[in-house]
């Protein structure tokens, strides 16, 4: 007798069967192949949840070990419950079954995170409305796309229509309609009748391994052995290891095994990720290594962010958030950056100051794009002093290769989408490209084109995620523009309309209420107290990306120029907001955008202070940009001496060069005398900082319009650090590598001298002559 075969045969023989029989057959096939299967239950919300409980029982899955992702409350099932927006809690976890309830909200990010948490041999149960009606239903995620002044009725249905089409067609997915009385009709049984798989041989421990044998005993695949072996390099300085893999290949586990082995050897290992739960797998495996060696100090809880090796070795593994970890607190011996592609390049660069570092990264997934990491960060890594070792992991650990649920998720969420291959576009330049508008209809009609557009956004931007796919296809305020070369996308911009809000919404923002979308009007209204800021209508550049093979050819600028030409008569301003770096500030300034705001807190994702920039296209837009430009230069000195005292001086220099307002100096004769006194190296600045702050802001703003007015780069950095940010003489001396505080003070005086000649009058010149 073959119970698995009998179960599958029974399922195939019954034209109408119970949910339990379908689930039992799916689980049998999943377990026989070490794959996952997906069971879609359509119908009334209560009926589908009850059917899910029945299915789990029939599949012999303990409901106490099942997590429910949804908004329903109050039923009698013992499932652990989390909200769809909190599906990130599933990162680093695996379960035999999960129930995803999409009745109240179909959130693409939740789908991706849920799929990734189902173990081989397990089931993903999805509760949805009747498939024919589902695309036209309005839910909570639709409401998040209904950015004012648009209504939820304006949200399109393209993402769910495509999702339904793939659920009905993809292998490994059963679709069962559940009636209110509990009866069920099977639309698809989801069985694939795969050939029997040959189990892979156990991985072989390398003979020259430096880590203990019990570390390698915990490896599940040959790929994982290779990764751990490469990570032995963290035991020596000047080594960098890059581990790339799709999800479920065990790269985080490999990092954890290596971290545990390093701690046993007395090393201090710093682990970082976007959040601790993303690195939970690292700590779980490190704990096992220490426990196997009977060297786990104390009794740390499962969520402990520090694990210490017992005895006198002093080894430990500790966690810090990326912005903190980038400071290399307490001088770790090695750093492991888990899911590195989820972090911006500028933040990743700071880890190159570590003695040894490993970057593990997902190639396809919402955590970040491995290709984007490779293209954008690798040049910095290769230019460093590290010896770089690359490891690629392809063998799945959680489930078998070719798992149909993984393949479905890749296609449904475009997790594996990428830009066109290099040879197809490498001849592109602004003279060979075509400016094109891509609406959702055109993208859905050409899957290849959709994959190129979204794949380019994924590869070029660390924050692009599945929710953005739905936003691109359905949000009423979002539109796509691109440049193509021989039909292939070489540059793409995701644009969002903002502003043009009614008086009641403007008042609500001014009084502290939150309004979805409308980022720039919201900032200018709520933070900068301009209730009229949301009257003009604008177009914000949400994302802009250029193919890596044709960067630095002016294609991004060409695309922005085309966008401006198309929309200049239709909106009052073009705008953007992003994590500010000198390079990006220069790019946007070259394209006509001017700085009107720097945020006062660092963005948790980018680790940077965000800049808001505007390019007005009408009188109303110019009035908005002009007053905020004036307000910005009036307040920036005070901001830099308090909340922005740690911002990169080059960001300050470039942001002020990107301002369209001219700040007034408004200095008294006494204040000019103070400035003249500073040229002799006297410490007069400390007695009255205001005059030099105002002079510095004016000089840096003017330098943006007149290159001849610019000081040397080091002089401008000195003025920013001391005059604007108010750092101590000792800190400035160390940061700018002066030999002494006295030399630093003299350098400040030398930097001030040409500014006095440029901005002072005859009285100031007479004062200067007294010192000369």
Q: Supply the DSSP string of 167-212, one letter for each residue.
A: HHHSTTEEEEEE-TTS-EEEEEE----PPPPPPPPPPPPPTT--S-
What is the DSSP-derived secondary structure letter of residue 497? Answer: E
Task: Kindly report the backbone phi and psi dihedral angles of residue 753, in degrees, each rounded to the nearest multiple of 5, phi listed first.
Answer: -55, -50
**For residue 651, which of 741, 711, 589, 591 has the smallest C-alpha distance?**
589
**Residue 387 confidence (pLDDT):** 95
Do the domains 3-189 and 213-393 sit in the same CATH topology, yes or no?
Answer: yes
- As a whole number of angstroms, the distance between CA 523 and CA 618 comes to 20
Question: Which residues of the chain are under the pLDDT cut of 70?
Answer: 1-17, 74, 76, 92, 196-201, 364-376, 462-463, 604-606, 681-683
Identify whether the C-beta of residue 8 lies closer than 8 Å to the C-beta of residue 29.
yes
Distance CA 285, CA 26 (A): 31
Closest CA to 262 of 309, 218, 222, 329: 309
> In this structure, are residues 672 and 767 in contact, taking their beta carbons and an 8 Å threshold?
yes
**Could you give the angle at which helices 649-657 and 690-703 cross, rounded to 10 degrees?**
60
Spatial separation of the C-alpha atoms in residues 494 and 484, rounded to whole Å: 15
Residue 342: the pLDDT is 77
Where are the extended beta strands (E) located within 44-83? 67-69, 80-82
Q: Which of 193, 188, 249 is nearest to 220 (CA)?
A: 249
Among 394, 374, 337, 388, smallest CA distance to 233 is for 388
Total residues belonging to the chain: 772
* Predicted pLDDT of residue 201: 65
Residue 271, CA distances (Å) to 90, 334, 727 in order: 19, 9, 31
**Residue 154: C-alpha distances to residues 138, 141, 375, 402, 712 (Å):** 10, 13, 38, 39, 53
Q: What is the pLDDT of residues 277-320, one digit of tens each?
A: 888 889 999 999 999 999 999 888 888 999 999 977 789 999 99
Provide the 3-class DSSP secondary structure of residue 312.
coil
CA angle (677 as vertex; 676, 683 as ends), nearest 5: 135
> Please, how many CA atoms are within 13 Å of residue 201, restricted to the half-sphere of its CB?
3
Q: How far apart are the first and last CA of the chain?
A: 105
CA separation for the pair 296, 293 (Å, rounded): 8
What is the topology classification, in CATH, of domain 3-189? Rossmann fold (3.40.50)
Alpha-carbon span 100 to 111, nearest angstrom: 8
Return the CATH superfamily for domain 213-393: P-loop containing nucleotide triphosphate hydrolases (3.40.50.300)
Is 328:353 a contact under the CB 8 Å cutoff?
A: yes
Peptide bond preceding 149 in cis form (omega within 30 of 0): yes
Evaluate whether 173 touches 188 at the Cβ level (below 8 Å): yes
Classify burial at 85, counting beta carbons within 10 Å of its beta carbon; exposed 0-12, middle 13-18, buried 19 or more.
middle
**561 beta partners:** none
Amino acid 364: pLDDT: 63
Class in CATH terms, 422-643? alpha beta
DSSP result, 353-417 = GSSSEEEEEESSSTT--HHHHHHHHHHHHHHSSPEEEEEEE-S-SSS-TT-HHHHHHHHHHTTT-
Q: Name the strand (E) or helix (H) holding 594.
A: strand 594-602
User: What integer pLDDT is reported at residue 683 of this predicted model?
Assistant: 61
Domains of the chain, by residue range, sit at 3-189, 213-393, 422-643, 669-771
Sign of CA dihedral 103, 106, 110, 111: positive
């Amino acid at each position: 007798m073959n119970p698995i075969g009998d179960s599958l045969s029974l399922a195939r023989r019954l034209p109408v069967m119970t949910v339990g029989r379908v689930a039992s057959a799916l689980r049998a096939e999943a377990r026989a192949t070490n794959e996952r299967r997906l069971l879609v239950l359509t119908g009334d919300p209560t009926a589908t949840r009850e059917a899910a409980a029945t299915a789990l029982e029939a599949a012999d899955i303990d409901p106490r070990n099942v997590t429910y992702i949804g908004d329903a409350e109050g039923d009698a099932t013992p499932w652990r419950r989390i909200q769809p927006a909190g599906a990130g809690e599933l990162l680093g976890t695996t379960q035999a079954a999960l129930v995803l309830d999409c009745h109240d909200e179909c959130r693409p990010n939740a789908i991706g995170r849920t799929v990734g948490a189902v173990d081989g041999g397990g089931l993903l149960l999805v509760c949805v409305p009747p498939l024919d009606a589902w695309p036209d239903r309005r839910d909570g995620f639709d409401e998040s796309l209904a950015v004012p002044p648009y209504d939820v009725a304006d949200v399109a249905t393209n993402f769910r229509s495509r999702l339904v089409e793939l659920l009905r067609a993809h292998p490994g997915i059963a679709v069962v309609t559940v009636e209110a009385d509990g009866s069920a009709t099977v639309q698809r049984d989801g069985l694939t009748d795969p050939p029997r798989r040959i189990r892979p041989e156990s991985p072989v421990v390398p003979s020259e391994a430096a880590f203990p044998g019990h570390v390698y005993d915990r490896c599940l695949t040959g790929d994982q052995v290779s990764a751990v072996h490469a990570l032995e390099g963290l035991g020596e300085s000047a080594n960098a290891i890059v581990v790339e893999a799709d999800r479920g290949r065990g790269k985080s586990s490999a990092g954890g095994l290596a971290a545990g082995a390093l701690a046993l050897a007395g090393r201090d290992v710093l682990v970082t990720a976007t959040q601790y739960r993303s690195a939970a797998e690292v700590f779980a495996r490190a704990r096992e290594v220490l426990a196997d060696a009977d060297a786990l100090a104390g009794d740390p809880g499962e969520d402990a962010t520090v694990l210490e090796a017992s005895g006198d070795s002093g080894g430990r593994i500790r966690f810090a958030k990326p912005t903190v970890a980038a400071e290399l607190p307490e001088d770790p011996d090695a750093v492991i950056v888990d899911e590195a592609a989820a972090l911006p390049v500028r933040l990743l660069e700071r880890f190159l100051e570590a003695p040894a570092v490993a970057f593990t990264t997902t190639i396809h997934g919402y955590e970040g794009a491995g290709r984007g990491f490779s293209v954008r960060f690798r040049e910095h890594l290769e230019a460093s002093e590290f010896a770089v070792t690359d490891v690629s992991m392809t063998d799945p650990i959680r489930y078998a290769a070719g798992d149909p649920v993984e393949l479905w998720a890749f296609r449904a969420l475009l997790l594996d989408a990428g830009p066109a291959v290099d040879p197809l576009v490498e001849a592109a330049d602004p003279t060979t490209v075509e400016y094109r508008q891509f609406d959702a209809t055109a993208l859905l009609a050409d899957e290849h084109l959709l994959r190129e557009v979204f794949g380019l956004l994924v590869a070029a931007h660390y924050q692009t995620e599945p929710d953005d796919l739905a936003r691109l296809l359905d949000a009423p305020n979002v539109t796509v523009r691109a440049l193509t070369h021989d039909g292939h996308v070489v540059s793409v911009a995701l644009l969002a309309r903002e502003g043009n809000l009614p008086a009641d919404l403007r008042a609500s923002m001014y009084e502290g209420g939150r309004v979805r979308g409308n980022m720039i009007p919201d900032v200018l209204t709520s933070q900068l107290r301009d209730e009229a800021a949301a009257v003009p209508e604008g177009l914000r550049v949400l994302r802009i990306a250029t193919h890596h093979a044709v960067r630095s050819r002016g294609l991004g600028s060409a695309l922005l120029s085309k966008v401006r030409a198309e929309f200049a008569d239709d909106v009052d301003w073009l705008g953007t907001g992003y994590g500010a770096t000198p390079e990006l500030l220069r790019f946007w300034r070259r394209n006509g955008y001017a700085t009107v705001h720097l945020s006062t807190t660092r963005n948790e994702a980018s680790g940077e202070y965000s800049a808001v920039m505007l390019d007005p296209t009408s009188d109303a837009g110019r009035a908005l940009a002009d007053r905020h430009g004036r307000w910005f230069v009036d307040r920036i000195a005070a901001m830099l001496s308090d909340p922005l005292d740690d911002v990169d001086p080059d960001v300050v220099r470039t942001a002020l060069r990107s301002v369209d307002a001219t700040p007034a100096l408004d200095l008294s004769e006494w204040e000019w005398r103070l400035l003249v006194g500073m040229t002799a190296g006297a410490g007069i600045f400390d007695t009255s900082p205001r005059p030099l702050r105002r002079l510095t802001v004016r000089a840096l703003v003017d330098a943006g319009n007149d290159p001849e007015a610019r000081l040397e780069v080091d002089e401008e950095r000195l003025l920013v650090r001391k005059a604007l940010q108010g750092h101590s003489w000792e800190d400035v001396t160390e940061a700018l590598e002066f030999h002494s505080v006295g030399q630093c003070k003299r350098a400040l005086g030398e930097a001030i001298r040409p500014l006095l000649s440029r901005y002072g009058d005859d009285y100031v010149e007479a004062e200067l002559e007294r010192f000369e």
